[in-house]
A and B are shown apart, each in its own frame.
Chain A
Amino acid sequence: MWDWSAFFGYLHNEYLWLGAWTTIWLTAASMSIGLVLGLIAALMKVSRQPIFTMPASFYIWLMRGTPVLVQLIIIYTGLPQFGIRLDVVQSALLGLGLNEGAYLAEIIRAGILSVPKGQFEAARAVGMTPATTMRVVVLPQAFRVIIPPLGNEFNGLLKTTTLASVISMEELLRRAQLIIQIDFHVLEAFVATAVFYLIMTTLWGLVQARLEAHFGKSVAGVAARSKRGASAAAVAAISALDPIEVDMLDRGAR
């Protein structure tokens, strides 16, 4: 029997709101860690020098090839056997950050590959070093194409944080699981939890739309827009691919 007052009670529950806040900052923090790791890994893979590409490819392969839940459990309950004792929050941040970094690396790399070769050549011709070329010419253009898949990843990460509940982190889902032990309105609690997530992802969707509009500004004209559309579609497709498939595409493009 559905209890509306219990349901609305959960929607107003401060304990759950704080859990939602945990979800938000955990997502933001893991995403930030992932962006840093992902950018470094992407640049390493793009460098074409084995001393850089091999560790980067290994990291991406390992993190994308194993379930993030298993990674979280290994970090929280497995590492102590080697004397590395991380608390729940540290484990969650490390696990989610490392995992997200691998996916972001492929997205960022696809974005870099989508920048036309002529841009690289023009930058080199004007005397820019590889580092300056990346910073001034390539990454700003890659950024525009990366934003939609990045926004997508943030959306996914908002929900993936629920896995931290397994290592007993008190984010929203875990709090929902705890609160029903006092209250027993199981269905209402979890539907309310789902609504919380829906609100968070929807709000993020609005932010993402603003970001996409803002960064698309210097692109005027139909021709430019359709070129961007093609690049964006390519990046979206590539980011869903396996790293091995992206490598084959990459080699084909050269």
Chain B
Amino acid sequence: MVEASGIHKYFGDLHVLRGISLKVRRGEVVVVIGPSGGGKSTFLRTLNHLEKIDKGTIRVCGRLVGYRERGDQLVELHEAEVAKHRRDVGMVFQSFNLFSHMTAIDNVTSGPIHVLRQKPAQAREDGRRLLTLVGLSDKADAFPAELSGGQQQRVAIARALAIKPKLLLFDEPTSALDPEMVKEVLDVMLELSREGMTMVVVSHEMGFARAAADRMVFIDQGQIVEEAKPGEFFDAPKSDRTRLFLSRIL
């Protein structure tokens, strides 16, 4: 599903991603953890070309992300072309980023109506079903400003699901939430993982990781330090850096 190979990225002189390679199989849930500034969010955002890469290739569903092959050269795609490929990848942001001038149901149907060109009536029907899935069927006509953080994030998940992506990316989805609301969002994510959605989640929620992750990935200073199944990862980490990081957050 996802094949990232030798990813390097610079922010000016800062070498933020130093040769990351990662494969994600269909239906797998990969949880990425690591210290602030280590590159995990940046790496996640390269998967749908919200961040450009300076070296390496990324393939999602077999297609190159952000570039096109011309002979043995890589040519960057126009935003409009990248937009088409993004339909396969949904993303949930730390700060929700709901469209503030639209109601919940309009947020959810924004993708189907404006990107997939579905008929509004059909899109609204599907949208209501998704809102029910995330437990917010009664909030369909509420504006984001009228919703709590946890509710906004659940609407954001519904919005990401609405375009029927093959892959879901989560960028610290619960980091901006009050503790009481974290569970309601993680429950939705857990349910998605049980239904076989392919997910790459950057998160500090170790409980969720233990329950849902098929694989843990520890990224520090732009590199993957360790990769393992959650059992091995938490109970018998191989690297000292991993041990140190885990001791700080567990």
Contacts and interface: CB of A to CB of B under 8 A. Distances in A.
Interface of A: 116, 118-119, 121-132, 136-137, 140-141, 144, 218-221, 223-224
A130 B97 contact: no
14 contacts: A118-B93, A118-B95, A122-B98, A122-B99, A125-B48, A125-B50, A126-B110, A126-B162, A127-B84, A129-B80, A137-B99, A141-B100, A144-B101, A223-B145
A233 to B, nearest CB: 18
A223 B147 CA distance: 12
B131 to A, nearest CB: 16
B8 interface: no
B100 A224 contact: yes
A55 B210 CA distance: 56
B150 to A, nearest CB: 16
Contacts of B79: 124, 129-130
B86 A126 contact: yes
Given A124-B79, A130-B79, 12 more contacts: A116-B97, A122-B97, A124-B50, A126-B86, A127-B87, A129-B79, A129-B80, A141-B100, A144-B101, A218-B102, A218-B143, A223-B145
B90 A125 contact: yes
Nearest to A120: B97
Contacts of A137: 99, 110
B99 A119 contact: yes
B114 interface: yes
Contact residues of A: prevailing secondary structure: helix
B75 interface: no
Q: What are the 8 closest A-B residue pairs judged by CB atoms, nearest first?
A: A122-B97, A118-B97, A224-B145, A125-B91, A127-B115, A126-B111, A127-B87, A129-B80
Interface of B: 48, 50, 79-80, 83-84, 86-87, 89-91, 93, 95, 97-102, 110-111, 114-116, 143, 145-146, 156, 159-160, 162-163
A124 B93 contact: no
A121 B115 contact: no
Contacts of A123: 99
Contact of B50 (A121, A128, A140, A223): A121
Contacts of A136: 99, 110, 114
A121 B94 CA distance: 12
A35 B87 CA distance: 34
A132 B113 CA distance: 11
A127 B111 contact: yes
A223 B116 CA distance: 33
A127 B86 contact: yes
Nearest to B99: A137
Contacts of B162: 126
A137 B83 CA distance: 15
Given A127-B86, A136-B114, A219 B100 contact: yes
A126 B159 contact: yes
A180 B48 CA distance: 71
Nearest to A136: B114
Nearest to A116: B97
Select the residue from A119, A124, A126 with max chain B CB neighbours within 10 A.
A126
B144 to A, nearest CB: 8
**Which of B48, B97, B102: most chain A Cβ within 10 A?**
B97
Contacts of A124: 50, 79, 83, 86
Nearest to B82: A124
Given A126-B110, A130-B80, A219-B145, A121 B101 contact: no
Nearest to A126: B111
Contacts of A116: 97
Q: Which of B50, B99, B162 has the most CB of A within 10 A?
A: B99
B97 A129 contact: no
